[in-house]
Amino acid sequence: MKKVRASAPWALAGLGLFLASTAGAATERTTAVLMGNVAGYQQVEYLPDGQVKVHYEFNDRGRGPSLDSTYRVNANGTLAAVETQGADYLKAQVNERYTVSGTQHSWKNSAEEEQREVPGAVFYLSLNSPPEETVLLIRAALKAPNKRIALLPTGEAQVTPVGTYTVKGKAGSKRVKLYALTGVDLTPSYTWLDEEQRFFASVSGWMKFVREGFEDVTPQLDGFQEKEERRLAEARAKEFTTKLDRPLAIINARVFDPGTLAVEEAQTVLVTKGRITAVGPSAKVAVPSGARTLDAQGKFLMPGLWDMHVHISSGAGGPLAIASGVTTVRDLANEERTLNDLISAVEAGRDIGPRVIRAGFMDGRSPYSGPTKVFVDTEEEGRKAIEHYASKGYEQIKIYSSIKPELVPALVRMAHEKGLRLSGHVPAFMTAKQFIEAGADEIQHINFLALNFLFDKVQDTRTPARFTAVGENANALDLSSPAVREFIALLKKHNVTVDPTVSIFDDMFHNHPGHWNAGASPLLGRVPPTWQRWIRAGGGGLPDVPKHPERYRDSFNRLVEFVGLLHRSGVHIVAGTDNLSGLFLARELELYVAAGIPPREVLRIATLGNAEVMKRDKEYGRVLPGYVADLILVEGDPTLLMSDLRKVRHVIRGDRMFESAALFRSMGIAP
């Protein structure tokens, strides 16, 4: 399930604004809304002496930050001092300080302690910050030359005014301005300010921050902001998409077909109108007159990759996936309208992204409900939700941790009656064995399989206990025990698919302040400076990892071994990340190799195997005449070295072609 990663580089959390009051203290509150449900708030107090005091918190299934920050702001908008205390998204302690004396800047947090001499205006980005800090940055940049300002410890940010609009709600009318912030994330992030340049809102498909009393105007803000996002997406698609309006001949390629696991040398593949029309030795396949030619020069050609666990969003997600060779994804929970609009834009060529298979998401009502607008506590509610998803063309139902266990058999039956698969988290107070016996087709996340053997330690898995219990105890799980063998036999008997997403535990079970997992190392030399800083900081780890690093490491290794055992035992594995496909699918597949799965079989899992689960294997996942021409050209040979999948050079997605390097560079990432 998609997570709000307050400690991750792409989650410079929400947005607010500072304006010191000369008449006295002023307090403003912002409501945090997660998928339509109020999840928390930010309260900001503007003091006469220029200090800004901020409290920020939200609850996301028992996770979520709780921060208290005090800022002193200089006349030019830069920070004179910052102090933040509290807890981050995964409840690790936060204690951060930053001060300036002349040109001497000093800061200390959980991962960094540094002093640096810096002349001129510079803005310090806290490692963990409330939403208000982002807008303090925007105000500082607006005062700087060319609306551009250097960042500490690294990077540069620029602000661009987009437009001014009037919104009308129950609290009245408000004149607001939209600003785009670049340099911190891979694509622009957006902030709404009022006429006094105070925070008004920040909106996205998943989470919205809006001034208290104006929550009802978010649809208007969505509309205005989406217009700007669509403009940028269409410009990006126009610049980086090569429309294959005539036949394409890929010559001199080494072709891998997952159906046979064979690699054929010196091949030509012809593509016409988005389909493969011929495959064979380059010496024998004639290239049609007028065809476009792509000389592979011996590079590795294979079907496009599939990521079976995403929560795709506009902005960088689609282009990142395509640049990395991911041509199909399965979205396992999203806001319906936002997802449909994105799919429509991509399919029409107005944006860049993979093909999307949709799964409808539902959860029960509880203090730990997942971010959704679809709640199911009765069979009737379940029937209505499933009928709705089926009528809209969804292919799967995903249930979540607060669903009542006694409802699962009925939900399975109703989903199957509509021709839909059913998968999900194993609901709280239920074992994976019981979930399988109730008829589930698939289980998300390898930790839920481990939890089957930890039921005596944790039953309520709606909270982060579903992570900590595994981190603390999976190291002792005997994978050769009769209990594990019986469980695997049950998976096989019921033909249950497993979506391990083992790579999400890479950060969770390894990272702690100043120490990051080895899986992130390949990203360090490629991503923008702000991302590099957060990776090195070692965020995203569970709070107790520093206390027992060996235990958590061994538990992670046991989860990896479990994946390999499942595959060797004949259980169907699908490859998914629950993350940004373009940056993390290669790591997921590397871990499958580490689990003992031969590389050629791993490539099959990530292509034809995934297509088989979704019953699309007659058109996708092979390099054969008649198949859809979703193809990637790779430098190297991932049948020998899986990390070569990070060297995708060209991507063909049916009737359009992309150069990976150009797409990566457009997002500030080195190819």
Helix (H, G, I), strand (E, B) or coil at 298: coil
Tell how strand 497-499 and strand 189-194 pair up. unpaired
Binned at pLDDT 50, 70 and 90, residue 22 comes out as: very low
153 prior amide bond cis, ω within 30: yes
Q: Are 33 and 17 in contact (CB under 8 A)?
A: no
Does the residue 252 lie in any domain? Answer: no
**161 Cβ partners below 8 Å, 6+ apart?**
177, 178, 179
Closest CA to 503 of 560, 558, 545: 560
Lowest mean pLDDT among 141-145, 311-315, 470-474, 483-487: 311-315
Q: Residue 49 pLDDT more than 90? A: no
Average pLDDT over residues 510-515: 92
Average pLDDT over residues 328-353: 96
Binned at pLDDT 50, 70 and 90, residue 653 comes out as: very high
Lowest mean pLDDT among 301-315, 488-502, 528-542: 528-542
Side-chain-side CA neighbours of 499 within 13 Å: the count stands at 28
Which residue did the predictor score with more confidence, 198 or 561? 561
Structure tokens at 83: 């102090």
Written as one letter, the residue type at 276 is I
pLDDT given at position 13:
34
pLDDT given at position 410:
98
Phi, psi (degrees; rounded to nearest 5) at 396? -155, 155
Binned at pLDDT 50, 70 and 90, residue 371 comes out as: confident
Does the residue 296 lie in any domain? Answer: no
Between the two ends of the chain, the Cα-to-Cα distance in Å is: 28
Closest CA to 2 of 539, 396, 577: 577
Helix (H, G, I), strand (E, B) or coil at 237: helix
CA distance 377 to 423: 17
CA distance 137 to 125: 8
Does the residue 100 lie in any domain? Answer: yes
Model pLDDT for residues 474-494, shown as the tens digit of each residue: 999 999 999 999 999 999 999
pLDDT given at position 518:
87
**637 Cβ partners below 8 Å, 6+ apart?**
254, 263, 300, 644
Q: Residue 18 pLDDT more than 70? A: no
Does the residue 145 lie in any domain? Answer: yes
Q: To which residue do tokens 């203290």 refer? A: 25
Q: Residue 6 pLDDT more than 70? A: no
Name 556's bridge partners.
none
Does the residue 473 lie in any domain? Answer: no
Binned at pLDDT 50, 70 and 90, residue 2 comes out as: very low
Binned at pLDDT 50, 70 and 90, residue 25 comes out as: low
- In total, the chain counts a number of residues equal to 671
Average pLDDT over residues 265-290: 97
Average pLDDT value over all residues in the chain: 93
Q: Identify the H or E element spanning 588.
A: helix 581-594
pLDDT given at position 188:
93
**485 Cβ partners below 8 Å, 6+ apart?**
none
pLDDT given at position 205:
76
Binned at pLDDT 50, 70 and 90, residue 557 comes out as: very high
Model pLDDT for residues 213-262, shown as the tens digit of each residue: 999 999 999 999 999 999 999 999 999 999 999 999 999 999 999 999 99
Phi, psi (degrees; rounded to nearest 5) at 638? -70, -10
Average pLDDT over residues 653-660: 98
Structure tokens at 229: 């996002």
Q: Are 50 and 73 in contact (CB under 8 A)?
A: yes
pTM here is: 0.92
DSSP 8-class letter at 425? P
Q: Residue 1 pLDDT more than 60? A: no
Average pLDDT over residues 118-135: 94
Report the b/e string of 187-215 with b at 16+ CB within 10 A: bbbbbbbbeebbbbbbbbbbbbbbbeebb
Q: Are 18 and 73 in contact (CB under 8 A)?
A: yes
pLDDT given at position 84:
97
CA distance 134 to 191: 9
Q: Residue 17 pLDDT more than 70? A: no
Instruction: Report the percentage of the chain scoring pLDDT > 90.
Output: 86
Does the residue 66 lie in any domain? Answer: yes
CA distance 384 to 414: 10
Q: What's the number of domains the chain is made of?
A: 1
Does the residue 73 lie in any domain? Answer: yes
Structural domain boundaries, residue 131: 26-213
Does the residue 238 lie in any domain? Answer: no
Closest CA to 562 of 638, 640, 493, 481: 481
Q: Are 394 and 420 in contact (CB under 8 A)?
A: yes
Instruction: Report the percentage of the chain scoring pLDDT > 70.
Output: 96
Average pLDDT over residues 30-47: 91
